[in-house]
Structure 1
């Protein structure tokens, strides 16, 4: 396999890093792609000397690279995106990203694949005026699907003084304390609330630790929150408009396993989850 480099001068420093995509890797939907789940690895990038750096892949699989200013949010993969590439590195379908970086700033490189559900090893080669520090950031994801249907179960949202909203709930547990994100995926205009412990519909502000309406595009919510292991949280999925029904999916991402549990808050609805 031929790996691509532009002209390398004597003062250029080459740094390398290897990552692996496996069936246990987290998945996301690539920016500008409507559907499909892609395994990915997240590498935090930092440099000591500003300048133009090149990041290319070396692998037997067809790779795709994304470069972010600051952090990467798999639920909102277009946020903070500053560069991407598919096949510029070589004739072997490898990515090449050339970008001007500043020192004392945090960047994120996401390595994934052109096709869905592809696994394999990927070597990252960084070329620039100084060494590049690359650290793998582990992540796991889970997807929970369910429905909100018309029944007697309604509540008034915490920020509202009136109105009745159908809802669905699911207990949430995490294996490791850390920052977790919960994003909705639905044709509904969704609204999410996360509770520390029980959710009590008659007092919807009690135990509430986070809520969101349109943190994601297309009227979807995004909740980013620090959770503790060995605790049970409750995620409430509802809608922006009153008495609205429909199906939804929740995509959760964090440093370790995320466990959802089905709860019969909606008659005739079966909620399922798929964990990566």
Structure 2
């Protein structure tokens, strides 16, 4: 718990401030690919005889520490909880502000799930939870290993490219990165992601979160991943609960509603809050959302 001072002023303002996983870097995981290679930092709240195993995946340029409030609530209810910092995020290795290979991210996260599962011979059910890009990762993993996943908890997941990313704009971005691979774009103000007035400064002060300019290559990596996911998504079979805000500027609420109503999953639930922004984990409704999450999961164990 080094460098505690920075977060102390946010206690009572940010739900996760002052909450830490009991184990950090407890299981070695290395992401291996030609484009993105490095060691990942893992976290857990251990329960010897858990109701279920829950893996929480964080969003782009965020970190596992962003979701410790959710993790602690799950742990208090008898779930064993696990998290991992993506390459280039949080305490994991790799250059900040750069996402180059999400397929390798899926592979490393599946490795983590399978290694953890092997520690529990009674095979408790496995749930995946994710916010934003973390929701994209959870959905992609569920499509790859559907027989292992009992359910998904999705907090404003990325399931399609935003309206500003037209095919013309994407072509321009590809040309610009071909000319200059390291070209960057300004990051959206963190205040646009949450109504919590402390969220912006907390994100900027947080050493685990990235506040700098974003390389355009990272945006294109996510564009390609979302294009691939959108082609596969309607084949999803895993039960899920999907939380979405009506004032989300990153993920289209209309597309979210259309997906939930159209996908073939029989056991699904869509929970919509008209005034909620994108960073659900720091929105005023989140304690209520966690209550609903716990009820949904307990009903499926």
TM-score when scaled to structure 2?
A: 0.22
Identify, as 1 or 2, the structure richer in helix.
2
Structure with higher RCO (Cα < 8 A, 6+ apart): 1
* Larger-gyration structure (1/2): 1
Q: Indicate the structure with greater strand content.
A: 1
